[in-house]
Structure 1
Amino acid sequence: MSRSPSAASTARFPAWLLICGSLMAIAPLSIDMYLPSFPALAGDLGVDIGQVQLTLGTFLVGLALGQAFYGPFSDRFGRKPPLYLGLGLYVVAAIGCALARSAETLMLWRFLQALGGCAGMVMARAVIRDRLEAHESARAFSSLMLVMGLAPILAPVIGSAILTAAGWRTIFWVLAAAGLAILLLVHWRMEESLDLRQAAPLRLGTVARSYGELLRDREFVGYSLSAGFGSAGMFAYISGSPFVLIELHGIAPSHYGFVFGANALGLIVMSQLNSRLVHGRTLDQVLGRALLAPCAAGVVLAVAALAGLATLPMLLAAFFVFIGALGCVTPNASALALAHQGHRAGTASALMGTLQFSLGTLGGAAVSLWRDGTALPLAVVMALCGAGAVLMRYYGRSGAGRAAA
């Protein structure tokens, strides 16, 4: 299907974009809905909480690795066949999670669930790139950030309600039902966005060459990693903020959810403001200014932590600025990374997702492994991620300049 920006502009949320939003929601819902069930899950399976946390780690690894498969497949056969495959696997794996009788079995099914669910993330980005030009893509990605911001707020609440009413296994039955509903939506309401007459051949050599060319494309790599370092900072915050806020600064666990929700709200607000900021400005200009916020917040926080001056108000302000700014960073960096990849949008979307989730996983792991009883590890990792995002934007911009020359 040819691109139709005008059609996309007739409604803020056309049906195809709503479906893309539901595809993007699969990962955060699958992560956040079962978090409140960790103690109950550990007790039921007879393991400690650390083993239950590994089920989250295996899910994140599956998200990072699985995306690389779907891109080339979708560039050859279209965007819908990979969704049938991925969502089908997701539903089966969610049922497997609901029936699991050991932590090891749950880890396996969670890994397979991630391998299936990540198809939605890859295809949502590819469909947007198929249909829209760069500026329209940035606005569409900003709309999808509503989903990414609301999910961390709503999913734990929904999960807690299900846990109280019916137990932790029902959470996975609900996820299976949601995956099936999205699969039916894709089948009945989503039109194929790839012109199959221009489909790329699916050969191992061709796929390897495409990935090699993308990794040598400074524009693609730079902007992808700029968003990736932002994601790494967010994963570091998700991993380290409970210890820093609850154990170090005495915030009640029930109040921590409000802090988490406030930062997610900042992400939503900035993502919607981004739709206005890109009018009359280049995406790179908006991205460059937006990146100053997480970089500054991270550096100030790191300096304060080193000096022993990281007070609770400073921490809360820095977290809010860093996470909120990603509402501008992620849509624009993603649109710029995919701007000149229309001939292999699926492959490019897959590699971008793999790079970003790999960095995100590393960011969260770095905070978890470097524990010294202070806020310093979280502050330093967030500062490095903010600075890395700025540097990668310059790297991508230099690549775009060379391509234009």
Structure 2
Amino acid sequence: MEDVAVRTASADTGTPASQQPTGLRRLRIIVVLGALIALGPLTIDMYLPALPSIGADLGAPDSTVQLTLTGTLIGLGLGQLFIGPFSDVVGRRLPLILGTALHVVASLACLVAPNIALLGTLRVVQGVGCAAAMVVALAVVGDLFTGRAAATALSRLFLVMGIAPILAPTLGGAVLLSSNWRGVFGVLAVLGVLLLILAVLALPESLPPARRQQARFRPVLRTYGKLLADGQFVLLLVVAALAMSALFSYVSGSSFVLQQQFGLGQQTFALVFGAGAVSLIGASQINVVLLKRFSSLQIVATALIAATAAAVVLTALTVTDTGGLLGFILPLWAVLGAMGFVMPNAPALALNRHGETAGTASALLGACQFGLGALIAPLVGVLGNDGPAMAIIMTAGAAIALVALGAVLRLDNRTVAAT
């Protein structure tokens, strides 16, 4: 049975099913969007192998160094709240170009940052620049696709975007072989320039003037009010954000847990970290096949049950110090794999409910995801920067997301009964 969230979406989007991109055109759009949206994961993950050395060089404790990651996530979250409505007014291309240019400038400034405070501030600016690419990519999907097509497009985006978390720590480790942590930001600046050229040359405008919103402050507030008044939309935001919290727990704590607790070197850490990303990406691609038989809501429900079970096992093994490195990474990869089914489907369900304001809806979605990530990153450090800290956060996130999804199902049943 197709879920209500998807069934009600077709009236909201401005692109009829018969006009949605197919074939080579759809492939080109997804590849371009995937390359652009990868700027965020690259910015977040490339410097992970250098976190311990940044603290040593700038004289900052581990928990303070982790705040530079928090700064990026804050910029990603808050930036989307403004860029999303802006893109609904002026179209998708201009915010994307301006944001990517801002990222390049901030990366160059990070290259010469003299202290941890300024580096953290510049990471916030970097995050705002990345926000433009992420919110515009999601908005373009909302502009052009609906229903299962949107979930499939997002799964393909995760395939392209997912290459970034695999390559980023390895690329960062390679940079560290011939340079120091500052060289990582030089590489990010170069990548930003290349993606800026791609945005200018290869991404057409997906929001025609007739479908743009008015450039007024109150309508934007009303749009946010409308979104927040939709109970199912809000609950799906919670599910999507908590799914991301598992990923950010992994991102923020893995370099310290794997390098300091288990003694892995920078290059070995990059390989193990990438293997976790492979689990997440592989699941997102299996999701495309499953969507031919099951609804997005059914897939999310099953995946959250599996994620909660795997997270409980991870917590038990890490708290009792059982199984060593394998006892840590195997259930961890299982959690990440389960979240690979949740991460494309929960946003698709949420965005399908409000296709007429895809930019603002995707901005609110991104702000919730990265806002929660900004809280999770330092929380791992506060709880000890070890395996149990990561496991406890993942277990709590998966369990709460499962409860939130149960509330979505109850609202679905009420809607069906009312009709």
TM-score, structure 1 length as denominator? 0.90
- Pair 1:387-2:399 in alignment: yes
Counterpart of 1:18 in structure 2: which amino acid? V
**Residue number in structure 2 paired with 1:107:** 120
Rounded to whole Å, the distance in 2 between the matches of 1:57 and 1:141 is: 25
**Which of 166, 171, 174 in structure 1 is aligned with 2:187?**
174
Contact 2:48-2:255 within 8 A present in 1 as well: no
Counterpart of 2:390 in structure 1: which amino acid? L
**Residue number in structure 2 paired with 1:212:** 225
What do residues 105-146 of structure 1 show as CA deviations (whole Å, max 9, x unaligned)? 222222111111111110100001111112111111111212
1:389 deviation in Å?
Answer: 1.5
Change (3 A) 1:48 1:236: closer
Change (3 A) 1:250 1:86: closer
Change (3 A) 1:94 1:250: closer
SS of 2:111's partner is helix
Rounded to whole Å, the distance in 2 between the matches of 1:374 and 1:162 is: 26
1:375 deviation in Å?
Answer: 4.1
Rounded to whole Å, the distance in 2 between the matches of 1:36 and 1:116 is: 22
Is the deviation greater in 15-24 or in 326-335?
15-24
Counterpart of 1:117 in structure 2: which amino acid? C
SS of 1:237's partner is helix
What do residues 38-83 of structure 1 show as CA deviations (whole Å, max 9, x unaligned)? 4554555455555443322211221121110111111111111111
Counterpart of 2:121 in structure 1: which amino acid? L
Counterpart of 1:75 in structure 2: which amino acid? D
**Residue number in structure 1 paired with 2:74:** 61
Rounded to whole Å, the distance in 2 between the matches of 1:242 and 1:229 is: 21
1:261 deviation in Å?
Answer: 2.1
What do residues 136-168 of structure 1 show as CA deviations (whole Å, max 9, x unaligned)? 111111112123432222112212222333443
- Pair 1:330-2:375 in alignment: no
1:13 deviation in Å?
Answer: 6.2
SS of 2:150's partner is helix
Counterpart of 1:281 in structure 2: which amino acid? F
RMSD: 2.6
1:247 deviation in Å?
Answer: 4.9
- Pair 1:83-2:96 in alignment: yes
Q: Which runs of 5+ in 2 are unaligned?
A: 1-13
Rounded to whole Å, the distance in 1 between the matches of 2:119 and 2:378 is: 21
Change (3 A) 1:154 1:5: farther
Change (3 A) 1:376 1:53: closer
Counterpart of 1:11 in structure 2: which amino acid? L
Change (3 A) 1:229 1:157: same
**Which of 294, 302, 320 in structure 1 is aligned with 2:307?**
294
SS of 2:353's partner is coil
1:197 deviation in Å?
Answer: 0.8
TM-score, structure 2 length as denominator? 0.87
**Residue number in structure 2 paired with 1:343:** 356
Contact 1:90-1:117 within 8 A present in 2 as well: yes
Rounded to whole Å, the distance in 2 between the matches of 1:259 and 1:350 is: 32
Identity across the alignment (%): 39
Rounded to whole Å, the distance in 1 between the matches of 2:125 and 2:348 is: 29
Counterpart of 1:321 in structure 2: which amino acid? A
**Residue number in structure 1 paired with 2:368:** 355
**Residue number in structure 1 paired with 2:331:** 318
Number of corresponding residues:
403
What do residues 374-398 of structure 1 show as CA deviations (whole Å, max 9, x unaligned)? 7443322211111112122222334
Rounded to whole Å, the distance in 2 between the matches of 1:4 and 1:80 is: 23
**Residue number in structure 2 paired with 1:226:** 239
SS of 1:100's partner is coil
What are the equivalent positions in structure 2 for 1:242-261 lying under 5 Å apart? 242-245=255-258, 247-248=260-261, 254-261=267-274
SS of 2:294's partner is coil
**Which of 369, 373, 377 in structure 1 is aligned with 2:389?**
377
Q: Which runs of 5+ in 1 are unaligned?
A: none
What do residues 322-363 of structure 1 show as CA deviations (whole Å, max 9, x unaligned)? 001122111111110101211100000000011111222323
1:366 deviation in Å?
Answer: 2.6
Contact 2:310-2:335 within 8 A present in 1 as well: yes
**Residue number in structure 2 paired with 1:122:** 135
**Which of 214, 230, 233 in structure 2 is aligned with 1:201?**
214
- Pair 1:10-2:16 in alignment: no
What do residues 257-308 of structure 1 show as CA deviations (whole Å, max 9, x unaligned)? 33322221111211111110000321111221122211111223335556x3
